[in-house]
C-alpha cells in the first residue's frame, strides 16, 4: 500500500510530483524538504519577502472546508515564491451548482494551472485529483477527510527538529481525538519515517479505540501513563464536525480527564515541548497557561508552516527549477 502511494507521488525522474500523504515517501524526501525549509525560513525576515522560484506559475487553492492557518499559510507561501495565486470561492463556484470535482479540476486545468492545493471533506479526494491531472500539474493535499494532512505533520516535525535536532529516539504523546484526526495519522507516518518508536495515543476509549494500536503506537487511556516522561506532547482538538453521537460526556468532563494542564504536564519531561495544530479550544483540550507557556510551540508551528509549505510547493510545482535561494 505504501509503495503504491509513493509511486503516485514521484515522477519518472524520482522527483516529488505530488504531496498527498507521508505514507510511501522516502526519508530522504523529508530531509530534503527540511533542508530547503531551513533556507526559506529567513525569507520571512527580509524586507522583500519574495524569491522567484515559482515565477510564472499559477497555484489554485481549492478549499472545500473551512480553514484559517492552512489556507492563509499556503497563500503566503505561494506568493513568497512569486507564483500567481487564485483562491477559489467554493460557495460561489460551479461546484455549488452540482459540478463534479473532476469537472471543476478539468476546467481550472484548462486555464493553465500548474498546481492545486486541495482541502476536501472526503478522504481520498486529493488522490482522485492527482490521478486525473496532466503530468506537469502538481497536487498538494491540504487535508482530506479523516485521512491525511501531510504538510501539518511536516511542519510539526520540522518545528521539533528546529528546537531539538534529531527527532529519532524521542518519546511522543498524541493526545485527544485520534479517531477523527487526519493530523494524527500523518504525524504517525512522519514520526515512524524519522525513526521514532515510542509513540503513545492518549484519550478516552471512544476517541482512541484499541484498534488504533495497529497504526504503530501504544494506546493509553490513562493520561498519566500516556504522558509519563515524554519529550513531546501533540494535542488534538475534538473534531465535532466529524462526530455523530456522544463521544465525550461534556467538554468540562473531558477537560478534567484529558485536558493538558500544568498539573497533567508535570509527569512529562521537564523540558517537554507542547504542540497543537489549531484551532485550539482553551479549557477543552488545553489550558491557557500551557498554550501560552514557555514550552508551547503553537505559534512557531504557524510560522514554520509558511517555510514548509514554500518548500513543498517549490519541490512539486517547481520540479526541475533551481531552488537556490
Known binding-site residue numbers for carbamoyl phosphate: 69-70, 119, 149, 152, 278-279
| Helices 69-80 and 298-316, packing angle to 10 deg | 50
Q: Where are the beta strands (DSSP E) in the chain?
A: 58-63, 84-87, 115-120, 138-144, 171-175, 198-202, 218-220, 232-235, 273-275
Known binding-site residue numbers: 69-70, 97, 119, 149, 152, 182, 237, 278-279
Tell me the three cell numbers of residue 115.
498546481
User: Is 41 in contact with 33 (CB distance < 8 Å)?
Assistant: no
> What is the C-alpha to C-alpha distance for residues 115 and 130, in angstroms, rounded to an integer?
10
Strand partners, 60: 86, 116
Known binding-site residue numbers for L-aspartate: 97, 182, 237
What is the largest distance, in Å, between two alpha-carbon atoms of the chain?
A: 56
> What is the C-alpha to C-alpha distance for residues 246 and 185, in angstroms, rounded to an integer?
22
Question: What Rg value do the Cα atoms of the chain yield, rounded?
Answer: 19
Amino acid at each position: 500500500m505504501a509503495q503504491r502511494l509513493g509511486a503516485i507521488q514521484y515522477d519518472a525522474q524520482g522527483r516529488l510530483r505530488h504531496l498527498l500523504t507521508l505514507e510511501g515517501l522516502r526519508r530522504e524526501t523529508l530531509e530534503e524538504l527540511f533542508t530547503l525549509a531551513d533556507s526559506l525560513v529567513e525569507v520571512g525576515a527580509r524586507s522583500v519577502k519574495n524569491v522567484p522560484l515559482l515565477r510564472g506559475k499559477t497555484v489554485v487553492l481549492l478549499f472545500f472546508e473551512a480553514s484559517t492557518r492552512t489556507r492563509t499559510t499556503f497563500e503566503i507561501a505561494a506568493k513568497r515564491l512569486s507564483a500567481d495565486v487564485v483562491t477559489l470561492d467554493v460557495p460561489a463556484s460551479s461546484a455549488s451548482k452540482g459540478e463534479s470535482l473532476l469537472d471543476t479540476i478539468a476546467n481550472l486545468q484548462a486555464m493553465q494551472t500548474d498546481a492545486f492545493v486541495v482541502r476536501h471533506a472526503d478522504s481520498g479526494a486529493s488522490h482522485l485529483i492527482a490521478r486525473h491531472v496532466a503530468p506537469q500539474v502538481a497536487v498538494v493535499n491540504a487535508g482530506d477527510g479523516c485521512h491525511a494532512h501531510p504538510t501539518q505533520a511536516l511542519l510539526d516535525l520540522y518545528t521539533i527538529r528546529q528546537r531539538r535536532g534529531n527527532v529519532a529516539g524521542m518519546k511522543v504523546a498524541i493526545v485527544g481525538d485520534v479517531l477523527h484526526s487526519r493530523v494524527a495519522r500523518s504525524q504517525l507516518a512522519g514520526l515512524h519515517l524519522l525513526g521514532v518508536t515510542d509513540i503513545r495515543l492518549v484519550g478516552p476509549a471512544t476517541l482512541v479505540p484499541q484498534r488504533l494500536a495497529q497504526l504503530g503506537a501504544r494506546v493509553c487511556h490513562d493520561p498519566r501513563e500516556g504522558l509519563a516522561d515524554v519529550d513531546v506532547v501533540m494535542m488534538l482538538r475534538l473534531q465535532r464536525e466529524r462526530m455523530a453521537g456522544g463521544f465525550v460526556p461534556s467538554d468540562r468532563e473531558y477537560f478534567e480527564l484529558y485536558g493538558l494542564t500544568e498539573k497533567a504536564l508535570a509527569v512529562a519531561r521537564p523540558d517537554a515541548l507542547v504542540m497543537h495544530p489549531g484551532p485550539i479550544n482553551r479549557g477543552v483540550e488545553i489550558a491557557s497557561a500551557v498554550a501560552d507557556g514557555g514550552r508551547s510551540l503553537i505559534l512557531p508551528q504557524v510560522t514554520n508552516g509558511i517555510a514548509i509549505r514554500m518548500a513543498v510547493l517549490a519541490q512539486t510545482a517547481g520540479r526541475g527549477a533551481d531552488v537556490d535561494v
